Every structure is written in C-alpha cells, then in structure tokens.
Structure 1
Amino acid sequence: MKIVFMGTPEFAIPALEALIGSKHQVLAVYTREPKPAGRGKQLLSSPVQTIAEEHSIQVFTPKNFKNPEEIEKLKALDADIIVVVAYGLILPKAVLEAFKFGALNIHPSKLPRWRGAAPIERCIMAGDEETAICIMQMDEGLDTGDVILEEPYMIPQNMTGRELAAVLAERGAKLLIETIEQIENGKAVRKRQSEEGLTYANKIFKDEEKIDWNMSAHLVNAKIRALSPKPGAYFIFRNEKIKIITAEYDLTPVDVPIGTVIDDHMTIACKEGVIKPTLVQREGRKMVYTEAFLRGFSVPMGSDLNCSG
C-alpha cells in the first residue's frame, strides 16, 4: 500500500519504522512544526521528522488543515491510506476521507476507556491493572472510530508511564502492519465501540503534577509512576520543587498527620499508608537516589510536606 504517515513524538517512531521496513511505501510524513528549544531557542524538529529525513521521505508541517490548498496537496500524493500516531492536530473529514481506505490510528488504551490525549498516564494514575493497544478506523469523533485489532496488556506493578509507552508503541507497530495486511486482503473486521465503560483521558494539567498526600499511598505511587520521569510528580519543600521519579509504598497505617516525613529516609505519610521515595530530582539537577539526595539536602523527620514554603 501507498501510505501517508502522520505523527510527532517518540511514541510514533516504532510505527513509522515498521512501515518503512515493510513492503509498503511511505510516500510522505506529516508532523508538527519545529519548535524552539534549549537556551539558544534553536528550532528543533520532531522525532518523527528526524526519522523521515534520515530515510529521505518528504516531510510536511502544516499548522492545520483549514486551508483547502493543504487538502489538495495531501490528495495529490495519491496514497491508499493515512496512518496517524500521536500527530497532535485535529483532522477534518476531508483529510479522513482523502484516500480509498481512510485513516488508521494507533491508540494506547482499551477503548472506550481512556479516549483522549493522555491515555497512558491516566490509566496508571487510576490504578488500572490492564490496558491495551488498539488499531482504529478514524472518524470525526474523539477516538470513537471502529476498532479493527486490539491487543490487551497487563501493566507490571512498578512500570512507569515512559516504560508503558515504549512497550505499547512497539506492540502497536506490529499490530499496525497486521491491520494493513488485513485491509489489503479484504479481511479486516471493524467493531463498533461500546459506550459502556467510557472514560476520557484529558491531558495532564500542571496543577495535577503536584502530589496530594491526602490520597492512599497506592494512588500517590500511581501518580509518580504515571508522570515519571517527565513531567514528574513533585512536592514543594523550602520553596524548591522536588520531583519523585520512583518510589515504593506501604499501606500499613501510621499515626501521624498526612504529609509528614516520618523518618530519616524521607518516608512520607499519606491518607492511607506511606510513600518511600527511591529516586528524586531537584530543579535543574540530575536524578539521584534518595540516600544521596539527603546527604546534600536536609528533609528532617517531622517536616510537613503539605506546606509550599
């Protein structure tokens, strides 16, 4: 098949590389515009653009598809299908119907649970034990299209958001190739999504990154895992933001106020149980193990981590 690929972050790379390495032809790649990055504010291409250029694939970076000329430019590629993986732009009906087989999307959740922008982070934050990777025929709704193939995945207890994304990206790439083969052979079966169990995975807002100790240690740890290592779950102490990158938790009750440091290892009381940070990061510093961190930054037993100062 002749394919137009649309994607932007690292999550999309395994799918693009799988298509490049297959018998199919990637005619063009659409990705988000380069963004200023670093102290020098130099324009930085997306991870997907970097891979496309390494393989001499033409790249387009439209701001949107509101201009009819962009639609015509897309149609002129004369592809068979579009593959969309974490592109970051809303696609109008004219784009979704530009080619014979429409547009496919790789979505990392067990649809209809966690439709939306942040399904990986949300499923971990909610304490879900299982997720999935889906290949979906796109329509104009928010992740409402028919599912063609789905592969469930049990989430290991200590897996972080980044780790889960890497696993699902690789599995999604393999499932994508299988889906395209089925479509090409006329064997693809499209299953309409149920509305039962529907939840939305809104993007992670800045205020959500701060740890609320008034939750069970299990859910505090889930937030830490979901946001690790970036953007990172944090607390404020002595006017400094401290990210907890990894932690352990214990649900044994402790008789101290919520948010209190209960020992010399920076174990912290939650609504239920305690959190034991194992890897932390100060602003502008490297990640370090908690033991090393405490040698250079004192968080005394009895400290109240609910305070912002």
Structure 2
Amino acid sequence: MSTQRPLRIVFAGTPEFAADHLAALLNSEHHVVGVYTQPDRKAGRGKKLQPSAVKQLALEHDIAVEQPEKLNSEAAQQTLADYRADVMVVVAYGLLLPEAILATPKYGCINVHGSLLPRWRGAAPIQRAIWAGDEASGVAVMQMEKGLDTGPVLHVEQCAIDARETSASLYKKLAQLGPRALITTLNDLEHYRANANVQAHDDATYAKKLSKEEGKIDWSDASQLERNVRAFNPWPFAWFELPGGKVGQRTVKVHQASVSSQVHHSTPGTIIECSPAGITVACSHGALTLHSLQLPGKKPLPVNDLLNGYATTFAIGVNLNDVD
C-alpha cells in the first residue's frame, strides 16, 4: 500500500524488458503521463520501420510518445518539463540523459538496472554476471546522476544464478523482479530517497557490451568456456568454425555444454570423445563437452541427433582449430 499520493510519471525505455516495467506502472495507482523511447528502427526481412515494445504498449493505452534522437536541446528539455512529472523512470532506454534532464522532474530520474550495483555497471550486466561465475544477480533501483550507473541505490532485490543459468533465463527472472522492485520504490519514494545507499565506487565493475567476436571459442579454459556458452545465449552465442567448408558458412553455435572430468594430454581443439551424450573437446585447461549445436542454416540439435549425419565431421581426433 502506498504511503504517498500517486505520482505523475514519465517513462523512458525501449525493449521488451522495459515494456514489462511500463506494464507494471500502468497496472499501479501511479499515472504515466508520457513515454520516451528510441526512434523506430528498420527490422525484419523487409527492413520496415518497427516501433519499440515500449512504444507499442504506450499507444495501446493512448499515452503520448516522444522519440527524440537526442535530449540535449532546449526544446527537448522544455518538452519534458511540460509533462510536470514527479519522477522520470528509466529502464533500458538507450540514450544518455543530460544533467538538465536529470534535474527536471520533482524527484529526478530513477533507473532500474539489472545487477547488484556497484557490480556490473554498464551495458551487459546480465551476461557479465554469468560470464564471471557470479552466484547471485538482481535489480537495483538507482537515483540517476551524471556518471554511468553511479547514483545512490534506493532499493535492491536479488536472485540466485543457477548452475545452468543462461542470459535468457536470468533475463526472465529479472523481468519479474524489476517491476516489483520499481513499484515498491515508487510507493514510498520519499522514504527510499532519504535512506539511499551511496555506492562503494572502489568495488565497481564494468559490464562492457558484448561482441560477436567475443563469442568465438578458443579452446582455452573449459570452465570459462562453459560460462561463455550460457552467458552468450541468446546472443552472440559461443561459436567455432568447422574445418573445411566455405568461409562464412561453417560457423557452429553452441547452445549447451558442460565441463568434462576427463583428463587428457591432447592439443587444444581436438575431439577426444564422441558419443550420443556429447562431443568432448580438449582445452588448454580441462575439457569441454558439447551437448547441443546449431550448424549453419540449421536448427539447434542435440549431439545424439547431429551425429547421425555428421559422424565424420565430429570424429575423435579431428582438431577444430584446423581451420583454413
């Protein structure tokens, strides 16, 4: 139950994760008076302009939508001021907010960030938590300031990272936690602002953006590679190239893998065991067993099915580093 009057809220966000938070606001006692989102982008085979998930939801509820390319002009700042918002809620918006914007609403701007700040500030906190082997993640509702995810934390809710967690599954967990944490904070915003925790900046880590190249498997440390497989699912996926075949048509995506207990003295990249349970590949440290793979132009398949047509491709002794 709220201990203060309903708030006038301007919401800023773009992807589905943000739309989940907007939906929670629309189902609350607070009033969403305007929505900011990224300009429509071309997508799909036809490369047609597509509205963001947040824009679609806003239009369904007849809420005014703003899609500025930037927010640093006087006109953009006046547009926000005209909404007379108590607070601006920002979730995966994709634009930097100038200090003038941060100071416009009565209670400033608050952000829902998918990590336990100050750990994993930046663009890819969900993926980096799995990549690093963290045992827990969560959401932090933060009062925004000029720095990147540096503001005082108003409220935190956390969850465990399971041993088989992927970025996709952790994303779903946080999409449940985030809206709940946001509404809890807004329902007693003055209290949470008065009791905000300043971040320990010396403990901060940075979650740099993912790249497709980072997903390439180098057959180094099996434990790290297993985390990569989970962290980079559903993008960019951990991947390797098959020996032979045309460049650009031999990339294999790894959907599921595990660390093998098998001891070996083989060259990294060498297939040392092959069975319906998995294809085990030697690494510099340990060995990695591949359980589900996606060949170019194909659907992901469990190894048991894949070997029916590619037994020689993944035979014992083949070195997956032998790519021309």
Structure 1 residues 69 and 264: CA distance shift in structure 2, 3 A: same
> Does 1:287 find its partner at 2:300?
yes
Question: Aligned ranges for residues 117-196 of structure 1 at < 5 Å?
Answer: 117-183=123-189, 188-196=194-202
Match of 1:89 among 83, 95, 115: 95
User: In structure 1, what is the equivalent of residue 320 of structure 2?
Assistant: 305
Give the Cα–Cα distance (whole angstroms) in 2 for the partners of residues 188 and 283 of structure 1.
54
Structure 2 unmatched ranges of 5 or more:
1-6
Output one character per residue of 1:24-71: Cα deviation in whole Å (capped at 9) or x when no partner.
Answer: 111111111111112211112212222222222222111111222111
User: In structure 2, what is the equivalent of residue 264 of structure 1?
Assistant: 274
Comparing 278-287 and 183-192, the one that deviates more = 183-192
Alpha-carbon contact 1:126-1:222 (below 8 Å) kept: yes
SS at match of 1:100: coil
Structure 1 residues 190 and 184: CA distance shift in structure 2, 3 A: closer
Alpha-carbon contact 2:131-2:228 (below 8 Å) kept: yes
Q: Aligned letter for 1:291?
A: N
SS at match of 1:275: strand
Output one character per residue of 1:237-272: Cα deviation in whole Å (capped at 9) or x when no partner.
Answer: 134110001122224432211111112242212222
Give the Cα–Cα distance (whole angstroms) in 2 for the partners of residues 294 and 23 of structure 1.
56
Give the Cα–Cα distance (whole angstroms) in 1 for the partners of residues 81 and 176 of structure 2.
29
Comparing 271-280 and 109-118, the one that deviates more = 271-280
Give the Cα–Cα distance (whole angstroms) in 1 for the partners of residues 266 and 211 of structure 2.
30
Give the Cα–Cα distance (whole angstroms) in 1 for the partners of residues 50 and 212 of structure 2.
23
TM-score normalized with structure 2 length: 0.90
- If you compute each CA radius of gyration, which structure gives the higher value, 1 or 2? 2
> How large is the Cα RMSD of the aligned pairs?
1.6
SS at match of 2:308: helix
Alpha-carbon contact 1:261-1:300 (below 8 Å) kept: yes
TM-score normalized with structure 1 length: 0.94
Question: Aligned ranges for residues 98-109 of structure 1 at < 5 Å?
Answer: 98-109=104-115
SS at match of 1:263: strand
**Percent of aligned pairs with the same residue?**
40
User: In structure 2, what is the equivalent of residue 219 of structure 1?
Assistant: 224
Comparing 293-302 and 15-24, the one that deviates more = 293-302
Offset at 1:114?
0.9
Structure 1 residues 187 and 209: CA distance shift in structure 2, 3 A: closer
Give the Cα–Cα distance (whole angstroms) in 1 for the partners of residues 188 and 263 of structure 2.
53
